[in-house]
Amino acid sequence: MDGGVGRKVVHPAVEPLAYLIGTWRGEGEGGFPTISSFTYGEELTFTHPGNKPVIAYSQKTWKLSSGEPMHAESGYWRPKPDGTIEVVIAQSTGLVEVQKGSYDAENKSVKLHSEVIGNASKVKEITRVFTVVNEELSYVVEMETNLTDRQPHLKASLKKL
């Protein structure tokens, strides 16, 4: 008996992205034409509460030199059986995103572009591309601001713990 809580099963919509579920840790580097480049440590966690067609996502980053916290964000990934996906993210800076895009289960890649950005002072557009190759998760985040065309802001590689 499960006490009526419900048995934990992977929802069929989540199955193609089940390889993401778990905790990933690694390092990244950031930059932009208007700022000094920097490096960071990062932990990403994807959890699937079971039964619902959603993966919960949380990210935290820190300075490699001191461990001091940097940016953090969390949200929900909602894959659809037709290969599209929507992702909502709330950032520690106050910015919120609705991302839409597609996933390729065979190549373990997810491509997202912002459909909605809220409460941002400078950011006009954000794209995020995630790929898993040889059990390493890497991503690139690009952004466009009021002063700068779309350029990379972040790239990182992480391994599953």
Q: Does 107 bind ligand HEM (CB under 6 A)?
A: no
Residues 113, 74, 104, 15, CA torsion sign: negative
Q: How far is the CB of 12 from ligand HEM (least distance, A)?
A: 29
Q: How far is the CB of 120 from ligand HEM (least distance, A)?
A: 7
Q: Which stretch binds ligand HEM (CB under 6 A): 2-10, 16-24, 99-107, 120-128?
A: 120-128
Q: Does 54 bind ligand HEM (CB under 6 A)?
A: no
Q: Does 145 bind ligand HEM (CB under 6 A)?
A: yes
Among residues 64 and 105, whose Cβ is nearest to ligand HEM?
64
Among residues 66 and 134, whose Cβ is nearest to ligand HEM?
66
3 state DSSP class of 49: coil
- Complete DSSP assignment for 57-120: EEEEEE-TTT--EEEEEEEEEEE-TTSEEEEEEEETTS-EEEEEEEEETTTTEEEEEEEEEES-
Q: Does 123 bind ligand HEM (CB under 6 A)?
A: yes
Among residues 121 and 134, whose Cβ is nearest to ligand HEM?
121
Residues 6+ apart with CB under 8 A from 18: 10, 48
Inter-CA distances, 96 with 36, 38, 46, 87, 125, Å: 24, 23, 19, 11, 12
Q: Does 45 bind ligand HEM (CB under 6 A)?
A: no
Contact positions vs ligand HEM (CB under 6 A): 30, 32, 34-35, 38, 40, 61, 70-71, 95, 122-123, 126, 141, 143, 145, 153-154
